[in-house]
A and B are shown apart, each in its own frame.
Chain A
Amino acid sequence: MTLAERDESAASPPTIDADERARRRARRLERVGKWVLPVLVMALALLAWDRIVVWNDIPHYTLPGPGLVFRTLIEDWAILFDALLVTLQITLLALLVAVLGGVGLAVLFTQSRWMEMSFYPYAVILQVTPVVAIAPLIFIYVDSRIAGLLICAWLVAFFPVLSNTTLGLNSADHNLRDLFRIYGATRWQRLRFLQLPSALPYFLGGLRIAGGLSLIGAVVAEYVAGTGGIGSGLAFRILEAGYRLNIPRMFAALILIAATGVLIFAALSLLSHLMLRKWHESAMTRER
């Protein structure tokens, strides 16, 4: 919608015909349904779970009911919350390093074809090698447990940032590139004023994927690292609870991990929306 059109529509009185009424009703239903339906499905699933457990007399060391899981979540909150903080710490640190490493490498690659040709294949190799296969080696050579976890989580998370940012840096409008050349822009100016802004939507897309992956990386690495005691995360709590047949706690920890993942995704989506809403197509709400 252009500014000129906007003026026009503001001046004329609104005419609402049958089509428009139908459209408005559909919009309203969609707005409500988007929230109500998933909650309804969740409630039904919990109810079914509960009934299955009660009606079949399933013992809690096989399948605890949702009520028991919820009670465990509250009773074991102190242990679980500490574990959550550890996992969250690794996840966020890994994400931070993935962003720094991914963007840094992407910038390096676009500044020098030689660098890209030399190192990009190895970035791909790191990406396609399963982290569970590399993790045991890492924990042999890296003494610090935190550092080991961080490396594992980083290995999983950095690639989407790297590949998306590289794509974004290279997809700056070619006429704008010509314009920068005509005006004698330096390499740094081109990067700062043209390539980085062009890459922002791509980078943010990569960041959302990397957020989920760094949580996965952190959890997987914890499984491999395995040693318990103070400073162990949610994945270790799940393993430990499994050895003790404390199934309710396994479920409680699982819920926390899932909730963390959702939260990270939501936060990064919000960040992306806030950064792009002024100018990028992806953040626009269509008018008609």
Chain B
Amino acid sequence: MPSEPARQAAPAPSGAAAARPPLLRMQGVDKVFNGDVVALKGMSLDVREGDFISLLGPSGCGKSTALRLLAGLSHPSRGRIAWDGGQEEGDLGVVFQEPTLMPWATVAQNIWLPLRLRGKSYAAVKDEVLEALRLVGLEKFQTAYPRELSGGMKMRVSIARALVTRPRLVLMDEPFAALDEITRFRLNDDLLALRDKIGCTVVFVTHSVFESVFLSDRIVVMAARPGRVIRELAVDAPYPRTDAFRTSAEYAAYCRDASDALHAAMGDAA
């Protein structure tokens, strides 16, 4: 197993990424549970407008904890997390590992939820709901109930719900981990196409090297016990990325880099 120094300096992000305006900044964040379980230690992360960042690491490395902190669902024990210019209503969309749909509501009603919680009637936001459905290719299923949909379709509904407020930042917590590989590839392609269309920033948690390389322009590799960032990799391949990228030598090289970093992370923890 190749062992790299644990705290190797992150390579400088590519010029294009560095020039983007900042969106959200995590500085020296620790998260401690029960007084002594250190889930996250000294994590700093600059999320810039338009980034697609993957948090890649073995289980227990704190990547989901980091995501919950970014979502505001829990608060740092030390350090700070701040939105540049403040967070406004609807700036944030979240997709969980499960589709997390309300089984008693139709597809359209599920997507309406974020707007409904802001007091918007369905009539007032119908166009936005239908547009979100069109984005994920499910416009025919607006009156279906979640139980009538396949796993991949449910996940699309979940993504449409996250996008309906036109968020600046979308957080995704291993959204495709429970799907079969064929469906996962389709959804990876569709996710990139979607982002191309609406231009949101994404922070994506995954434990798949291939997924992280295909999707992101920055990969943050994390290690466990205590959860921390050990490397940041830039993936400079241009978007849009298609199947051709998936079979290119460039892709393979990036995968090897990310895989080495991940091995180092796991070796480090053991």
Q: Answer yes or no: A180 CB below 8 A from chain B CBs.
A: yes
Taking CB atoms, residues of chain A closer than 8 Å to B114 are 183
* CB contact under 8 A between A175 and B96, given known A4-B150, A182-B71: yes
Within the complex, the shortest CB–CB distance from A177 to chain B, in Å, comes to 10
Knowing A2-B148, A2-B149, A2-B150, the reply to whether A200 touches B104 (Cβ < 8 A) is yes
Interface residues of B (CB under 8 A from A): 71-73, 89, 92, 94, 96, 98, 100, 102-105, 113-114, 116-118, 141, 144-150, 153
**A193 contacts B103, C-beta separation under 8 Å:** no
A3 interfacial by beta-carbon distance below 8 Å: yes
Q: Min CB distance, B161 to chain A, in Å?
A: 8
A178 to B73, CA, bound (A): 7
A181 and B145 CA atoms in complex are apart in Å by 24
For A3, the chain B residues whose CB sits under 8 A away are: 141, 144, 148-149
Instruction: Enumerate chain B residues within 8 angstroms of A55, measured Cβ to Cβ.
Output: none
B81 to chain A, nearest CB (A): 14
Q: Do A182 and B73 form a contact, CB below 8 Å, given A2-B153, A4-B150?
A: yes
Smallest CB separation, B189 vs chain A (Å): 19
Interface size in chain A (residues, C-beta < 8 A): 25
Closest partner residue, chain B, to A197 (CB atom): B104
CB–CB A180/B117 < 8 A: yes
Q: Check: A194 CB closer than 8 A to any chain B CB.
A: yes
Q: Shortest distance in angstroms between B141's beta carbon and chain A's nearest beta carbon?
A: 7
Contacts of A183 in B (CB 8 A): 113-114, 117-118
Which residues from chain B contact A182 at a C-beta distance below 8 Å?
71-73, 92, 94
Known: A2-B153, A178-B96, A189-B117. 4 other contacts (CB 8 A): A179-B94, A183-B113, A193-B113, A278-B145
Task: Decide if A185 is an interface residue (CB 8 Å cutoff).
Answer: yes
Task: Please tell me if A173 contacts chain B, counting CB pairs below 8 Å.
Answer: yes
Does B116 contact A193, Cβ atoms closer than 8 Å?
A: yes
Interface SS, B side: loop
Q: List 27 A-B contacts (CB under 8 A).
A: A2-B149, A3-B141, A4-B150, A175-B96, A175-B100, A176-B100, A176-B102, A178-B71, A178-B73, A178-B94, A179-B100, A182-B94, A183-B113, A183-B114, A183-B117, A183-B118, A184-B89, A185-B117, A189-B117, A193-B102, A193-B116, A193-B117, A197-B104, A197-B105, A280-B103, A281-B147, A284-B147
Contact partner of B102 (CB less than 8 A), chosen from A178, A184, A197, is A197
**In the complex, A279 has a CB within 8 A of chain B:** yes
* Distance between A189 CB and nearest chain B CB, rounded to angstroms: 6
Q: Which residues of B contact A197 (CB under 8 A)?
A: 102, 104-105
> Using a Cβ cutoff of 8 Å, how many contacts connect chains A and B?
61
The A interface, classified by DSSP as helix, strand, loop or mixed, is: helix
The interface residues of chain A lying within 8 Å CB-to-CB of B144 are 3
Q: Which residue of B lies closest to A174 (CB)?
A: B100
Task: Evaluate contact between B104 and A279: CB separation under 8 angstroms.
Answer: yes
For chain A, residues 1 to 16, give those with C-beta under 8 angstroms from any C-beta of chain B.
Answer: 1-4
Bound-complex Cα distance A182 to B73 (A): 7
Q: In chain A between 139 and 176, which residues have their CB closer than 8 angstroms to a CB of chain B?
A: 173, 175-176
Which 9 A-B pairs have CB atoms at the shortest separation, nearest pair first?
Answer: A175-B100, A2-B150, A183-B117, A197-B104, A175-B96, A279-B104, A185-B117, A279-B103, A183-B114
B150 — which chain A residues lie within 8 A by C-beta? Answer: 2, 4
Q: How far is the CB of A10 from chain B (nearest CB, A)?
A: 15
Residues of A within 8 Å of B92, CB to CB, are 182
Give Cα A184 to B115, complex, Å.
Answer: 11
Residue-wise, chain A 182-205 has the 8 Å CB interface mask toward B (1 for contact) of 111100010001100100100000
Q: Which residues of A contact B94 (CB under 8 A)?
A: 178-179, 182
A121 to chain B, nearest CB (A): 29
Instruction: Report the minimum CB–CB distance from B145 to chain A (whole Å).
Output: 5
Chain A positions within 8 Å of B113 at CB level: 179, 183, 193
**In the bound complex, do residue A181 and residue B73 qualify as a contact, i.e. CB atoms below 8 Å apart?**
yes
| Bound: A182/B96 CA distance, A | 12
> Is there an interface contact between A175 and B98, defined as CB atoms closer than 8 Å?
yes
- A279 surroundings in chain B (CB, below 8 A): 103-105, 145-147
Distance in angstroms from B155 CB to nearest chain A CB is: 13
Q: Tell me, in angstroms, the Cα distance from A176 to B161 when the chains sit together.
A: 12
A189→B102 CA distance, assembly (Å): 14
* C-alpha gap A175/B94 in the complex (Å): 10
The 8 A CB mask of A93-119 against B (1 = contact, 0 = none) is 000000000000000000000000000
